[in-house]
Amino acid sequence: MGMRFNLDATRDWADLVLKIMSTLAIAAGGVWAYFQWRVTDAAETGAQISTSAEVFPYRQGLCLVVIHAKPKNVGRVPISAGRNGLSVTLQELPPSLPPGAVNPNELKLRHAPVDVIAAWRTGGYLIEPGVEYDELQTEVAPVGSVLLARAELDVGDGTEVDQSTIVRADCTSAAPAPAASASPAPLSVAADRRPIEPVPVSIVSQPPIPEDERHAIEADRAQKAASDQALVRWTRILGVATLLLASGTVALWWATRRLVKGAEATAEKQLRSYVFVNVSIKQGVLWTASGNEQTSVSVRFANHGSTPAQLMRIRAVALALTSAPTRLPDTMDDDVASGIGLGPQSSDSIPVRLTVSPDELKAIERREKTIYCFGCIEYEDVLGTRRETGFCWSLQLRGEDQVFTITPGTPLNYRT
C-alpha cells in the first residue's frame, strides 16, 4: 500500500514537471516573439534619406542643378509615404554673410517646397524593405550661387526623415573652341554676335512605366504590405494566446498541486489513528471517617482509527476542586509504559485512585466542589506523527446515581 502511494506521488510529480517545462517553453516562445516585434523594433519603420547634387552647364551665366533625393527602407516592414510626400527645399546663401555660424531658418527660400513624388502618391508611394529610390529635382541657378538643398520624407506615421547638402553652382558655360585646322593658311572667322540659344536638357527622374505594369507593381506592393500587417497582427495574437496559455498552465499546476496536497491529507486522515477517552465510575464515591478510603475511577481509551496507535504516555488524576481545571498538575505519574500498542477499533482502560475526605464529601454534597478526572494520552500513529488527546470529565450527582460527563469550557479537552 505504501509502495502504491509512492508511485502515485511520483506520477503526479512527473506530470507536474512536464507541465512546468511546457509552460517555460511556451513562455520562452512568447518572450522571443515579444523581443522580435517590440524590443528590436521589428515592426517599426526604418526610413533613411540621402541628398546629393550635380551641376551641369545650362546657358551663359546659368547652371542646371540636379538634386538627388534618395529614400531608402532599412527596416523590415514596407513604408508608405504620408500626405506631405517627399519635399525638396532650396535656400540661397547670400554672398554678404558675416563669418560665423549660419542659421538655415534665416536663409531665403528660392521657392516653396516641391513634392517630387506628387505624381506617384496618387496610386500609393510604397518603399519595400531593402529598396532605395532616386528622385530628382532640377533647378536653374546663377553661376557662382551657393544653395542649401534639403530633402524631407513624410514616413506617414507622424514622423519625418530629412537630410541637407550644400551645392555651388560652378559650371563652365562657354562654348567649346573650334578645332585647329591643318592648313597653314590663316582663317578668317567672323564674329557671331547672336545670342546663345539655350540647350534643351531632358531630365527624367524615373523611366516611364506602362500603366498596366505600374498597377501590377502597386497591387503587389499593397498585397505584400497587407501580408506583413497580417503577420504583425497574428504575432500579437500569438503573444496574447501564449500568455493566456501560460496563465492556464500555471492555474492547472496550482490546481494539481492542491489536488496532490488534498490527496495526501485525505490519505493521512484515513491512515492515522484516533484515540479518545471515556471516564466512568462503577460505584459511588467511597469514604470513611479517617478519609483514607480509595475509590477507583476507570479511564477507558479507545482507538477509533483504521491503523494501530503506539501509546507513549498516559497521565490521569482525579481531584475534588472548586472549579474546572485549566492545566495539568506539574507532577503526575505515568500510568503506562512507552511502546504499548493499541490496535484499530480496540480499547483498554486504566484505574485512577480517588481519595475523598469527609469535609470534601460534604462540600461535594453542597455543590461547593466537584470531582474532576483529567489528564492526557500521548501516542504515535503509523505515519510517525506524535499526537496527543487531552480530557477532562466531571462527576455529576443525579439522585443516587453518580455519572462522569465531559466538562465544558476547559482547554484540557483537545486533540492534536
Residues 157, 256, single domain; the answer is no
Residues 282, 393, single domain; the answer is yes
Residues 253, 308, single domain; the answer is no
Residues 295, 166, single domain; the answer is no
Containing domain of residue 14, as a range? 2-40+232-268
* Within-domain flag for 352: yes
Q: Which of 2-11, 119-128, 176-185, 275-284 is the most confident on average?
A: 275-284
Chain centroid to CA 244: how far?
11
Task: Give the CATH number, domain containing residue 90.
Answer: 2.60.40.3880
Last-in-domain residue among 145, 173, 201: 173
Closest CA to 350 of 311, 394, 324, 319: 311
Looking at per-residue pLDDT, the higher value among 65 and 186 belongs to 65
Task: Give the CATH number, domain containing residue 346.
Answer: 2.60.40.10
pLDDT above 80 (res 178): no
What values do phi and psi take at 252, rounded to 5? -65, -40
Return all residues near 272 (Cβ < 8 A) that are at least 6 apart.
305, 307, 381, 382, 383, 385, 387
* Within-domain flag for 190: no
pLDDT value at position 1?
Answer: 39
Please say whether the beta carbons of 127 and 46 come within 8 A: no
Report residue 233's pLDDT band, with 50, 70 and 90 as the boundaries. Answer: confident
Per-position b or e across 232-261, b if 16+ CB within 10 A of its CB: eeebeeebeebeebbeebeeebeeeeeebe
Last-in-domain residue among 173, 196, 214: 173
* Within-domain flag for 220: no
Residues 248, 292, single domain; the answer is no
Please tell me the total count of domains within the chain: 3
Residues 49, 33, single domain; the answer is no
Report residue 63's pLDDT band, with 50, 70 and 90 as the boundaries. Answer: very high
Cα–Cα distance measured from residue 209 to residue 216, given in angstroms and rounded to the nearest whole number: 11
* Within-domain flag for 158: yes
* Within-domain flag for 329: yes
User: pLDDT (tens digit, 9 = 90+) per residue, 181-217?
Assistant: 444 444 343 444 445 455 454 444 455 667 777 777 7
DSSP label at residue 407: P
* Within-domain flag for 201: no
- pTM (global) more than 0.95: no
Cα–Cα distance measured from residue 262 to residue 305, given in angstroms and rounded to the nearest whole number: 19
Residues 281, 411, single domain; the answer is yes
Residues 47, 121, single domain; the answer is yes
Residue with cell 557662382: 144
Residues 263, 279, single domain; the answer is no
* Within-domain flag for 204: no
Looking at per-residue pLDDT, the higher value among 291 and 158 belongs to 158
Residues 286, 396, single domain; the answer is yes
pLDDT value at position 186?
Answer: 43
User: pLDDT (tens digit, 9 = 90+) per residue, 84-138?
Assistant: 888 899 988 888 888 888 888 878 888 888 888 887 766 678 888 888 989 898 9
Distances (CA, A) of 407 to 44, 80, 205, 355, 378: 79, 89, 107, 20, 20
Name the CA radius of gyration of the chain, rounded.
Answer: 53
Residues 23, 55, single domain; the answer is no
DSSP letters for 254-321: HHHHHHHHHHHHHHHHHHS--EEEEEEESSPPP--TTS--EEEEEEEEEE-SSS-EEEEEEEEEEEEE
pLDDT value at position 121?
Answer: 64
